Amino acid sequence: MLLHHRLLPRLLLLPSTHTSTSPLLLRPSRFSPRLSLPPRSSALSNLAATQTVEHSDAEAAPGEVQVQLPLDRLFVPPGASVAAGDQEAVSARVLKGSNIVLGPYARGDAQVVNADFVKSSVRPEDCPRDGLPEFALVGRSNVGKSSLLNSLVRRKRLALTSKKPGKTQCINHFKVNDSWYLVDLPGYGYEYASAPQEARTNWDEFTRNYFLSRENLVSVFLLIDASIPAKKIDLDYASWLGQNKVPMTLVFTKCDKRKKKKNGGRRPEENVETFQNLIREYFEAAPPWIMTSSVTNQGRDEILLHMSQLRNYWLKH
């Protein structure tokens, strides 16, 4: 399923002026002309904050590290536009711990009211056929995928978690608010799971087919462990999604695990920055990304807002 990222052609994505919609977000057939950013809704004001970077050796509290980004590194959602002189105004609309600008489609339907397991499928054609929009979570085994899903819906055991990688072996659909799906996909790249090699190959194949054939897939949320340095297999996976024009958001997990430089460890924000630098080597513009922690719930509301604006745009177009 995965191709070596150095063999992939450089994708033509957003120009630095951000005057068009990124093809990493929605399928090309769903694009429409951009709209101007409206005044920020007061209901969302507690979730959008100006971002600043901390690179000092002092230990910051988990979840308090923020990032200041230039306009050409921000993700502008569908229906929104920015101009070169809008730095201050746009920065005030960037979701905390991310590069994502709040647009006009982020509304009051972001929070999860109810969530229920629907079914497990081993083939894309066996997945629910009601046409509801869905977001797929995928990442290396043991990246914290099930924990993040449980955090998003505020349920401890909606998706079963395990210290043993490779437990998710099907396409698992969870219906949220009776109107959209969260999809838990099998992990990839684990070296010590008990599943046989043949089963792992089959998981890769049906996951790939799901990405390419699922028309109501709004976006793939690719989970990356921010507590460790960037892994080549994650870069390969991101490159494959980009090459195949599969909508993608990077979700950096385990951002609560903070290590002091004097102990030889790298902090999560440093690993996130390194991953972004590596991504920029192969892409004209970085995809949307968010820093999260299932322990502190950092990034939970930001992810739900991001999903809301993508979902509402998708439903309208």
**pLDDT at 102 > cutoff 50:** yes
**Nearest CA-CA partner of 37 in 85, 95, 78, 96:** 78
- Residue 191 burial by Cβ neighbours in a 10 Å radius (0-12, 13-18, 19+): exposed
Mean pLDDT of 111-138: 93
Which alpha helices (H) appear in the chain, and where do they start and end?
A: 87-91, 145-153, 197-213, 232-243, 268-282, 300-316
The β-bridge relationship of strands 171-176 and 217-225 is unpaired
Strand order in the sheet with 171-176: 115-121, 171-176, 180-184, 134-139, 217-225, 248-253, 289-291
Mean pLDDT of 245-260: 87
For the chain, percent of residues with pLDDT exceeding 70: 66
Mean pLDDT of 267-293: 85
- Residue 199 burial by Cβ neighbours in a 10 Å radius (0-12, 13-18, 19+): middle
Summarize pLDDT for 185-241 with one digit per residue, the tens: 988 875 434 556 655 556 677 788 999 999 999 999 999 999 999 999 999 999 899
When comparing pLDDT for 109 and 9, which is higher?
109
What integer pLDDT is reported at residue 155 of this predicted model? 77
**Nearest CA-CA partner of 299 in 230, 252, 249, 247:** 252
Report the alpha-carbon distance of residue 43 to residue 187 in Å, rounded.
35
Report the alpha-carbon distance of residue 23 to residue 37 in Å, rounded.
20
**pLDDT at 15 > cutoff 90:** no
Q: List CB contacts of 157: < 8 A, sequence separation 6 or more.
A: 150
Report the alpha-carbon distance of residue 288 to residue 181 in Å, rounded.
20
What integer pLDDT is reported at residue 147 of this predicted model? 87
Report the alpha-carbon distance of residue 13 to residue 247 in Å, rounded.
12
When comparing pLDDT for 153 and 61, which is higher?
153
Summarize pLDDT for 78-100 with one digit per residue, the tens: 888 887 777 778 888 999 999 99
Token pair of 39 as six digits: 């005044």
Question: What does pTM read for this prediction?
Answer: 0.76
What integer pLDDT is reported at residue 82 of this predicted model? 80
The β-bridge relationship of strands 115-121 and 134-139 is unpaired
Which residue bears the tokens 């949320």?
221
Residues 47/97, Cβ–Cβ less than 8 Å: no
Question: Which region among 40-49, 96-105, 126-135 has the lowest average model confidence (pLDDT)?
Answer: 40-49
Looking at every residue in the chain, the average pLDDT score rounds to 74
**pLDDT at 69 > cutoff 90:** no
Residue 306's SS3 state is helix
The DSSP secondary-structure symbol of 122 reads S
Using pLDDT thresholds of 50, 70 and 90, give the confidence band for residue 242. confident
What integer pLDDT is reported at residue 198 of this predicted model? 57
**pLDDT at 262 > cutoff 60:** no
Token pair of 148 as six digits: 């993040």
Measured CA distances, 89 to 46, 102, 254, 295, 298 (Å): 16, 11, 30, 32, 24
Report the alpha-carbon distance of residue 34 to residue 45 in Å, rounded.
23
Report the alpha-carbon distance of residue 236 to residue 3 in Å, rounded.
6
Token pair of 151 as six digits: 């955090």
